[in-house]
C-alpha cells in the first residue's frame, strides 16, 4: 500500500522538490572549483606583478605587455582542459600540485616557442623563464593553501555533502564506515535505502536504514541529501535504474561502487558493443619490467638515503645503547615477496620481555603491530617510534634487495599463515616486495588496525603502482610523520 501511494504522489513530489534541490545540489560541488579558479587567477596576477618588479634588479628588461596577458591566460586555459576546474568527488591534492607544475611548464614552452618564432628577442628565454618560475611557485602555494583549508573544514565536519547510500549490505556498510572514518573525503552518510537490509547492527550505531526505494523523495527532503552512492543491493536492476533517474530528476548527484571493484584500477578503458559498455582493465604485472626498474631505483635511493641519515642513525644507536644497553638493533624474521623469509632490522624501542613467551591472541581482524610490548616501550623508544626513526635501518634491507621503499608492510611468518587462511586476498599482497612504507600506512592503517582494510589498500597499490604513486606515498609518509592524520 505504501509503495502504491508513494508512486502516485511521485510526480507531485518531483515537481515540488526538483527546482530547489537541483539548484542547491548544483551549487554545492562548484564551490571548490570556483575557489580554485579564483585562487589561480589571484596567484597568477601576483606572480606576473612580482616577476616584473624584480626584473630590473636582475638586469632583465620588462616583458612585453601582450605576453604578460597571454601567459596566465594560457595557463588557465590548459588547466581547464585538464579538468582542474570541474567538480570532483574527492580531493587529490598531490595530483593537483603535479598537474599545476607540469601545466605551467608546458605553457612556458609554448610561449617561448611562439616568442622565438614571432619576435626573436634577445631576452625572450630569460623573461619567459622568470614568469614560469614565479607562476609555478605561486600557483602551487595557492593550491596548497586552498586544499589545506578545505581539508581542515572537512575534518571539522563542515563542507560535507549529505550522502544517501543505496544498499545496506556488507559493501554498503563498509562504504559508510569508510566515510565516517575519513571525513576528508567530503561525504557525510545520513542513512541507507534498502528494502532488505543486512541483519546486523547499524554501522557504528550511527547510520540508520531510512526506508526503501519508494521513500527516496521523502528522505531527500528530510535529510537535505546532495549525493546518492549506489552500492550493492538485492533490488532488481530496473528498480535501481529507475531510482537513478529519479535522483537525476531531483538534481542529486549519483555515484556507484562497481561490480568486481577488487580488480578495478586506474588503468581502465571503455569500449562499446553497440550501447553495451565493455570495461577493459589493464592488470598489474609484478614480474614485469616496471617493477624491475622500481627495485633498481629502490636500491640506488636507499644507498643515498643511508649516507644522508647516517648521523641520525648513529645518534639514535648511541642513545639506545646508553638508555637500554645491548642489543641496539631489533632483528625479526618477516615474510616478503612470494613468502620468502628475511631478517628485518629496526632500532630497538622496547626493553627485553620478562617471563613471557609465545604470540599473543589477537582481536578479530586486527593486525599484530603493537599488540605485544607496549608496556615495555621506553620513553626514548616512544620518541623513536613516533618519529619513525626506528624504521630507518630497513634501508639496509632495501639495499640488500629484501625490501622496497614502498610496498605492503612485512609480517611474521607465523601470522602470515594464519591471516592467509582467514583474511580474503591476504596472500595477494605478497606478489611484490614488502616496503618500509605503503599505501595503507599513509592512510593511518598501522599498529592495531583492521587487517581487511590493510589488505584492501595494499592490493590497490599493487594494481595501480606507478612511479608517481611511489613518489606520492613517500611525500605522504613525510607528512604523516609530522601529522597524525593522512593527507590526500
Q: What is the pLDDT of residues 228-249, one digit of tens each?
A: 999 988 888 888 899 999 998 8
**399 and 440 fall within a common domain:** yes
Cα torsion 427, 429, 434, 435 to 10°: value is -150
Residue 249 lies in a domain: yes
Domain holding 232: CATH number?
3.40.50.20
Share of the chain residues as helix, strand and coil, in percent rounded to the nearest 5: 60, 15, 30
What would the mean pLDDT of 204-213 be, rounded to a whole number?
79
Residue 23 lies in a domain: no
Using DSSP bridges, classify how beta strands 276-281 and 268-273 pair: parallel, antiparallel or unpaired.
antiparallel
**213 and 141 fall within a common domain:** no
**124 and 41 fall within a common domain:** yes
What would the mean pLDDT of 204-225 be, rounded to a whole number?
85
pLDDT of residue 373: 53
Look at residues 234, 257, 280 and tell me which one is the last residue of a structural domain.
257
**477 and 370 fall within a common domain:** yes
Whether residue 156 is predicted with pLDDT greater than 90 in this model: the reply is no
Cα separation, 295 vs 398, in Å, equals: 9
pLDDT of residue 171: 87
**227 and 337 fall within a common domain:** no
**249 and 376 fall within a common domain:** no
Look at residues 135, 155, 175 and tell me which one is the last residue of a structural domain.
155
The answer to whether the peptide bond before residue 95 is cis (omega within 30 degrees of 0) is no
| Nearest by Cα to 411 from 369, 383, 355 | 369
**388 and 420 fall within a common domain:** yes
**446 and 313 fall within a common domain:** yes
Total domain count for the chain?
A: 3
Of all residues in the chain, what percent carry a pLDDT higher than 70? 84
Residue 442 lies in a domain: yes
pTM > 0.85: no
CB 429 within 8 A of CB 459: yes
pLDDT tens for 263-306 read 777 777 788 888 888 888 777 788 888 888 999 999 999 999 99
Residue 420 lies in a domain: yes
What would the mean pLDDT of 316-338 be, rounded to a whole number?
88
| Nearest by Cα to 438 from 471, 465, 398, 473 | 473
Band (pLDDT 50/70/90 cuts) for residue 353 is low
**145 and 189 fall within a common domain:** no
Band (pLDDT 50/70/90 cuts) for residue 190 is very high
**314 and 378 fall within a common domain:** yes
**226 and 324 fall within a common domain:** no
What would the mean pLDDT of 372-394 be, rounded to a whole number?
79
Whether residue 140 is predicted with pLDDT greater than 90 in this model: the reply is yes
The domain of 51 spans: 29-155
**128 and 224 fall within a common domain:** no
Band (pLDDT 50/70/90 cuts) for residue 434 is very high
pLDDT tens for 100-121 read 999 999 999 999 888 888 876 6
Amino acid at each position: 500500500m505504501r509503495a502504491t501511494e508513494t508512486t502516485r504522489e511521485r510526480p507531485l513530489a518531483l515537481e515540488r522538490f526538483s527546482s530547489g534541490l537541483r539548484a542547491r545540489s548544483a551549487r554545492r560541488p562548484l564551490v571548490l572549483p570556483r575557489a580554485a579558479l579564483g585562487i589561480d587567477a589571484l596567484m597568477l596576477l601576483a606572480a606576473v606583478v612580482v616577476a616584473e618588479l624584480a626584473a630590473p634588479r636582475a638586469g632583465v628588461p620588462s616583458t612585453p605587455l601582450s605576453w604578460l596577458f597571454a601567459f596566465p591566460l594560457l595557463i588557465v586555459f590548459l588547466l581547464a582542459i585538464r579538468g582542474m576546474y570541474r567538480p570532483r568527488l574527492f580531493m587529490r591534492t598531490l595530483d593537483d600540485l603535479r598537474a599545476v607544475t607540469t601545466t605551467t611548464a608546458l605553457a612556458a614552452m609554448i610561449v617561448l616557442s611562439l616568442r622565438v618564432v614571432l619576435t626573436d628577442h634577445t631576452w625572450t628565454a630569460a623573461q619567459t623563464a622568470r614568469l614560469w618560475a614565479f607562476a609555478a611557485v605561486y600557483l602551487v602555494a595557492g593550491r596548497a593553501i586552498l586544499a589545506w583549508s578545505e581539508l581542515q573544514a572537512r575534518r571539522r565536519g563542515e563542507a560535507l555533502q549529505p550522502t544517501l547510500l543505496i544498499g545496506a549490505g556488507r559493501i554498503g556498510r563498509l562504504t559508510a564506515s569508510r566515510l565516517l572514518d575519513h571525513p576528508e573525503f567530503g561525504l557525510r552518510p545520513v542513512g541507507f535505502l534498502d528494502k532488505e537490509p543486512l541483519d546486523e547492527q547499524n554501522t557504528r550505531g550511527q547510520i540508520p536504514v531510512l526506508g526503501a526505494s519508494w521513500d527516496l523523495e521523502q528522505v531527500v527532503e528530510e535529510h537535505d541529501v546532495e549525493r546518492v552512492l549506489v552500492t550493492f543491493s538485492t533490488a532488481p536492476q530496473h528498480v535501481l535504474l529507475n531510482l537513478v533517474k529519479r535522483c537525476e530528476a531531483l538534481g542529486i548527484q549519483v555515484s556507484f561502487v562497481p561490480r568486481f571493484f577488487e580488480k578495478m584500477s586506474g588503468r581502465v578503458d571503455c569500449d562499446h558493443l553497440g550501447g553495451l559498455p565493455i570495461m577493459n582493465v589493464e592488470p598489474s604485472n609484478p614480474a614485469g619490467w616496471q617493477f624491475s626498474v622500481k627495485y633498481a631505483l629502490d636500491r640506488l635511493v636507499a644507498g643515498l638515503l643511508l649516507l644522508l641519515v647516517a648521523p641520525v642513525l648513529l645518534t639514535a644507536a648511541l642513545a639506545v645503547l646508553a638508555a637500554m644497553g645491548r642489543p641496539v638493533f631489533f632483528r625479526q624474521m618477516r615474510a616478503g615477496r612470494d613468502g620468502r623469509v628475511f631478517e628485518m632490522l629496526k632500532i630497538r624501542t622496547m626493553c627485553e620481555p620478562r617471563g613471557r613467551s609465545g604470540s599473543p591472541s589477537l582481536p578479530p581482524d586486527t593486525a599484530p603491530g603493537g599488540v605485544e610490548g607496549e608496556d615495555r616501550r621506553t620513553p626514548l623508544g616512544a620518541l623513536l617510534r613516533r618519529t619513525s626513526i626506528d624504521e630507518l635501518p630497513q634501508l639496509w634491507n632495501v639495499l640488500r634487495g629484501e625490501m622496497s621503499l614502498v610496498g605492503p608492510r612485512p609480517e611474521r611468518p607465523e601470522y602470515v599463515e594464519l591471516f592467509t587462511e582467514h583474511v580474503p586476498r591476504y596472500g595477494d599482497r605478497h606478489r611484490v616486495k614488502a616496503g618500509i612504507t605503503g599505501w595503507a600506512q599513509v592512510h593511518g592503517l598501522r599498529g592495531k588496525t583492521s587487517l581487511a582494510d590493510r589488505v584492501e589498500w595494499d592490493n590497490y597499490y599493487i594494481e595501480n603502482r606507478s612511479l608517481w604513486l611511489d613518489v606520492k606515498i613517500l611525500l605522504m609518509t613525510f607528512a604523516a610523520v609530522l601529522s597524525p592524520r593522512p593527507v590526500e
